[in-house]
């Protein structure tokens, strides 16, 4: 089967592909809000219908939350599983949108043409790049180049509560030779990339309590303990002067970069000054003996995400608060154990408690880091396919965020995952005026067509 005719068909049928994407984007499949439950069902139904029209055996599978969509198509060669999600983030604050977030449109901007609407980049536009590549292959050759399973969920933006049980219950059906995930982006919005490292995530919320009620700072200041002071000391002690995290055993399981990956990252010529300058900063604040890309891709972090207590309203109120609160998150790498780090953090806070204070913790989930085996031959095949399409050498990159599904494919289904996406840094995912570049959609479809050809061969 020839690739050239598939690419030609993708080019000639792009308007029809855009019409299909617009139809999916019009469905307000917000998974976090129960008011949109019926719309999530509608999005799943739409995808089942589209996959069936493509020749897949497709079905909507119920869960305690929003449904999964699973589809299968026969073929020769390797068995590939493609994962994406059809749910989207809420649109608040609505007043900051320039148009109805569920009335998508093609817009001309000073950086080119874009598809504007909620879900355009995260993740409907991305998942449709794969489906459109399949459509072109089927139209040209009557069949797909390899055996495919499609797995689409509707709860990714709300913590995926149904995902692990569903995967465990349907492991035999979902297991394939390799998983493909399209929920990432280009490096610096121009270089095609395959994510091979994902940081894990651990969340903790804590409340420190002291006096039985808020106290007048004139009457009690100096003699009474202040929970905010206690909390501030504990949190300030999480880092040393060089930016390293001080928790005992925190770096257990943190591995050094392979030299080949380190060299490739150096070759990307990452402009950290511009990256920080875009948000009004100038100096890297992480471990000072590490490069900026290491700081955000391959090194662990401890970050204070919120801290509050006492009087924070208008004007001034001189009180010693009865309570102080904080939310703290840790990004994890390598083989770091989130449970051990949770205990180390709690022990650190308790060690900083004076006699009259108590602490209460509330866990906010945890996931280990993910790392992909780039010695799997599919990775170099995919890198070659992306390089051919984009005219720029594709890179293996890390990801500072967390995509738990990649780890679940490894731990639950025992299969490697490849993360390839075409989003750009300015896509404004999770924010008002989300967009997906028309180039990303078009070349994304062509990229998947090339990648399927390489993997089938």
> Measured between alpha carbons, how far is 395 from 403 in angstroms, rounded to an integer?
19
What is the residue-wise DSSP string for 129-148? HHHHHHHHHHHHHSS-SSEE
Mean of pLDDT values over 270-286: 93
| pLDDT tens sequence across 397-452 | 998 887 889 989 999 999 999 999 999 989 999 999 999 999 999 999 999 999 99
Q: What's the CATH number where 349 sits?
A: 3.30.70.360
Contacts of 332 (CB under 8 A, 6+ apart): 199, 200, 201, 202, 300, 338, 341, 367, 368, 369
| Tokens 């198509």 belong to residue | 73
Residue 122 lies in a domain: yes
Query: Is the confidence at residue 56, as pLDDT, over 90?
Result: yes
Q: What's the CATH number where 194 sits?
A: 3.40.630.10
Find the helix or strand (DSSP H, E) in which 302 lies.
strand 301-309
Query: Looking at the 3D structure of the chain, how many domains does it have?
Result: 2
Query: How confident is the model at residue 1, as a pLDDT?
Result: 64
Contacts of 434 (CB under 8 A, 6+ apart): 101, 116, 117, 118, 119, 120, 121, 122, 427, 428
Query: How confident is the model at residue 293, as a pLDDT?
Result: 95
Query: How confident is the model at residue 301, as a pLDDT?
Result: 97
Domain boundary among 349, 367, 385: 367
- Strands of 128-286 (E only): list them: 147-153, 178-181, 193-198, 200-209, 215-216
- Same domain for 204 and 349: yes
Query: Is the confidence at residue 162, as pLDDT, over 80?
Result: yes
- Same domain for 381 and 294: no
Query: Is the confidence at residue 365, as pLDDT, over 90?
Result: no
- Domain residues for the domain of 359 are 200-255+270-367
Domain boundary among 367, 397, 425: 367
Q: Provide the pLDDT confidence category of residue 367 given band limits of 50, 70 and 90.
A: confident
- Same domain for 442 and 413: yes
- Same domain for 423 and 334: no
- Same domain for 391 and 354: no
Query: How confident is the model at residue 29, as a pLDDT?
Result: 98
Query: Is the confidence at residue 156, as pLDDT, over 70?
Result: yes
Query: Is the confidence at residue 276, as pLDDT, over 70?
Result: yes
- Same domain for 43 and 150: yes
- Same domain for 298 and 150: no
Residue 264 lies in a domain: no
DSSP state of 187: B
- Same domain for 16 and 120: yes
Nearest of 177, 163, 184 to residue 408 by alpha carbon: 163
Query: Is the confidence at residue 137, as pLDDT, over 80?
Result: yes
Mean of pLDDT values over 12-16: 98
C-alpha distances out from residue 118 to 25, 33, 149, Å: 7, 15, 26
- Same domain for 283 and 427: no
Query: How confident is the model at residue 278, as a pLDDT?
Result: 86
Give percent above pLDDT 90 in the chain.
90
CA 208 to chain centre: 32
| Residue 190: how many other CB atoms lie within 10 Å | 11
Residue 428 lies in a domain: yes
- Same domain for 236 and 217: yes
Are 122 and 80 a contacting pair, CB within 8 Å?
Answer: no
Contacts of 362 (CB under 8 A, 6+ apart): 204, 205, 206, 207
Nearest of 168, 3, 145 to residue 76 by alpha carbon: 145
Residue 244 lies in a domain: yes
Residue 193 lies in a domain: yes
Mean of pLDDT values over 171-192: 96
Nearest of 190, 243, 405, 225 to residue 321 by alpha carbon: 225
Nearest of 143, 120, 124, 192 to residue 6 by alpha carbon: 143
Are 319 and 310 a contacting pair, CB within 8 Å?
Answer: yes
- Same domain for 393 and 276: no
Domain boundary among 350, 367, 384: 367
| pLDDT tens sequence across 90-108 | 999 999 999 999 999 999 9
């Amino acid at each position: 089967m020839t690739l050239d005719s598939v690419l030609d068909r993708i080019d000639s049928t792009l308007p029809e592909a855009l019409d299909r994407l617009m139809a999916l984007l019009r469905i307000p499949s917000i998974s976090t809000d129960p008011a949109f439950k019926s719309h999530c069902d509608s999005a799943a139904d739409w995808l089942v219908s589209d996959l069936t029209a493509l020749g897949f055996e497709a079905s909507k599978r119920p869960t305690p939350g929003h449904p999964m969509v699973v589809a299968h198509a026969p073929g020769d060669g390797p068995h590939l599983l493609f994962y994406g999600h059809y749910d989207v983030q809420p649109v608040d604050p609505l007043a900051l949108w320039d148009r109805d977030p569920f009335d998508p449109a093609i817009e001309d901007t000073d950086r080119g043409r874009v598809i504007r609407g909620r879900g355009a980049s995260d993740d409907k536009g991305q998942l449709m790049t794969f489906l459109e590549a399949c459509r072109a292959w089927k139209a040209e050759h009557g069949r797909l180049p390899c055996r495919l399973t499609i797995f689409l969920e509707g709860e990714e933006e709300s913590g995926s509560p149904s995902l692990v049980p569903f995967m465990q219950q349907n492991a035999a059906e979902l297991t394939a030779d390799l998983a493909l995930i399209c929920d990432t982006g280009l490096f610096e919005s121009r270089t095609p990339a395959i994510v091979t490292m994902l940081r894990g995530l651990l969340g903790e919320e804590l409340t420190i309590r002291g006096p039985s009620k808020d106290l007048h700072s004139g009457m009690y200041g100096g003699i009474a303990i202040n929970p905010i002071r206690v909390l501030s000391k504990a949190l300030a002690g999480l880092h040393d002067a060089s930016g390293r995290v001080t928790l005992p055993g925190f770096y257990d399981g943190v591995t050094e970069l392979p030299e080949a990956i380190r060299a490739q990252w150096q070759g990307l010529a990452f402009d950290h000054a511009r990256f920080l300058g875009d948000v009004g900063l100038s100096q890297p604040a992480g471990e000072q003996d590490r490069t900026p890309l290491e700081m955000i891709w391959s090194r662990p972090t401890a970050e204070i995400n919120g801290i509050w207590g006492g009087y924070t309203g208008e004007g001034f109120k001189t009180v010693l608060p009865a309570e102080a609160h904080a939310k703290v998150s840790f990004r994890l790498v390598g083989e770091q154990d989130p449970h051990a780090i949770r205990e180390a953090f709690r022990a650190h806070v308790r060690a900083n408690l004076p006699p009259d204070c108590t602490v209460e913790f509330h866990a906010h989930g945890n996931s280990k880091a993910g790392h992909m085996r780039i010695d799997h031959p599919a990775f170099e095949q995919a890198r070659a396919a992306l390089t051919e399409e984009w005219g720029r050498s594709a890179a293996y990159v890390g990801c500072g965020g967390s995509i738990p599904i990649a780890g679940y494919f490894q731990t639950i289904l025992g299969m490697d995952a490849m993360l390839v996406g075409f989003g750009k840094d300015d896509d404004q995912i999770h924010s008002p005026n989300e967009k997906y570049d028309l180039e990303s959609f078009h070349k994304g479809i062509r990229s998947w067509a090339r990648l399927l050809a390489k993997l089938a061969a």
